[in-house]
Amino acid sequence: MNITDLVARGWSYHETESERLAEELESSNIAEMSVADVAQCLKLSNHTIGEHLGDWSRARKFVQSVLAANPSSSKLSNIACYRYVADYMDKHHYAAVRAELDALSVSEHVLGTYVVLKSMLAAALVGSGLWDKGFEILHTLNQMASTSELPESTIRSLAITNNNVANDLLAADPQNSTDRKALLDCANAAFQFWKMCGTWVNEERALYLLSLAYACSGDLDRSLAHAKAALRVIQSNGEELIDEAFIRLAAAKAYHGLADIESAHRELEQSDKISEEWSDDALTEEYQSVRSKLAFI
């Protein structure tokens, strides 16, 4: 299997079979890769080996191997960002400074590259369990981006990072006020940045994320308001039935928590009707998993 196909397929099992994927990456033919393949390969390897397996030394070694086999890519700004993350996380701080300077020195937009670089570090810190450090960096970047003129690619990178970090926090089911505040900050930032650079699908999904975040924080009125807003975006722009089904589950949960049982069952009935048309077993299983967590079923 060539590296392009491996990376494309690897994302589907990187969480459940991280060691398998790490070994496949390490044994793959990494010579003469395109710049795009190098970037995607290092993105996957840092995330899988560094974050999921918690072995940043191994992740850094793989980065070095890829760049040694593809020297023309090693000094490109976006590639140097992956070097920076692996160096920093493996505590090779001088090498990290060198990679950071390499990334900035050839950038067409230094501030934009700096924000992307640090957002990648924030994501790696969060993915490695260093939540507080990651949130602190990301919060500062979000504030900076809100008051600065940045390239659309940088805004998109921040939208994705905030979206992913918020989803990681939701999966961890935060119980303390600090983590719940971080969840809301990231979800709100994701929505703000998607509004600036994304599509209406990005917008409705960001609103759904906000609905889940507010529900997690116990604010059911706002959870319901954001679920309704997400549905309005869909209805105004076209059709996105899979998203609609999950959004209606979120609305059902909020309605039930607000003691509007009739509306809760109406939303549940509509979401079930949509899901009955699906032929994808994995999608149906995911839907049933989310549905089973509704307290009134």
Question: What's the pLDDT score for residue 296?
Answer: 66
Structurally, the chain folds into a number of domains equal to 3
| 41 and 92 both lie in a single domain | yes
3-class secondary structure, 174: coil
CA–CA distance from 250 to each of 83, 155, 187 (Å)?
A: 40, 27, 15
Of 147, 168, 198, which residue constitutes the final position of a domain?
198
How many CB atoms neighbour CB 295 within 10 A?
8
Asked if residues 259 and 217 have their Cβ atoms less than 8 Å apart, the reply is: no
Question: What's the pLDDT score for residue 156?
Answer: 96
- How does pLDDT run across 269-278, given as a tens digit for each residue? 999 999 999 9
| 86 and 116 both lie in a single domain | no
| 85 and 131 both lie in a single domain | no
Specify the residue for token string 């070994």: 23
pLDDT higher than threshold 70 for residue 297? no
| 9 and 100 both lie in a single domain | yes
The angle formed by the CA atoms of residues 46, 1 and 55, to the nearest 5 degrees, is 20
| 163 and 95 both lie in a single domain | no
Ordered alpha helix ranges (H), 106-176: 110-127, 131-146, 152-172
What mean pLDDT is reported for the chain? 95
Ordered alpha helix ranges (H), 238-293: 241-257, 261-275, 281-291
d(CA 119, CA 160) in angstroms, rounded, equals: 10
CA–CA distance from 289 to each of 219, 259, 270, 286 (Å)?
A: 23, 23, 17, 5
Sequence-separated (6 or more) residues with CB below 8 Å from residue 179:
131, 169, 172
- How does pLDDT run across 180-192, given as a tens digit for each residue? 999 999 999 999 9
Q: How confident is the model at residue 252 (pLDDT cuts 50, 70, 90)?
A: very high
- How does pLDDT run across 124-178, given as a tens digit for each residue? 999 999 999 999 999 999 999 988 899 999 999 999 999 999 999 998 888 888 8
- How does pLDDT run across 210-245, given as a tens digit for each residue? 999 999 999 999 999 999 999 999 999 999 999 999
Of 198, 219, 252, which residue constitutes the final position of a domain?
198
Question: What's the pLDDT score for residue 174?
Answer: 83
pLDDT higher than threshold 90 for residue 295? no
Determine what percent of the chain is predicted with pLDDT higher than 90: 89
Question: What's the pLDDT score for residue 293?
Answer: 86
The average pLDDT across 47-66 equals 97
The average pLDDT across 262-275 equals 96
Question: What's the pLDDT score for residue 24?
Answer: 95
| 56 and 97 both lie in a single domain | yes
| 99 and 183 both lie in a single domain | no
Q: How confident is the model at residue 201 (pLDDT cuts 50, 70, 90)?
A: very high
User: Which domain, by its residues, includes 222?
Assistant: 205-297
Return the biggest CA–CA distance within the chain.
63
Question: What's the pLDDT score for residue 160?
Answer: 96
Of 52, 81, 106, which residue constitutes the final position of a domain?
106
**Short-list 19, 12, 10, CA closest to 41:** 10
d(CA 143, CA 173) in angstroms, rounded, equals: 25
Question: What's the pLDDT score for residue 32?
Answer: 81
DSSP state of 292: T
CA–CA distance from 279 to each of 32, 234, 242, 275 (Å)?
A: 40, 22, 12, 9
**The model's pTM:** 0.91
d(CA 15, CA 17) in angstroms, rounded, equals: 6
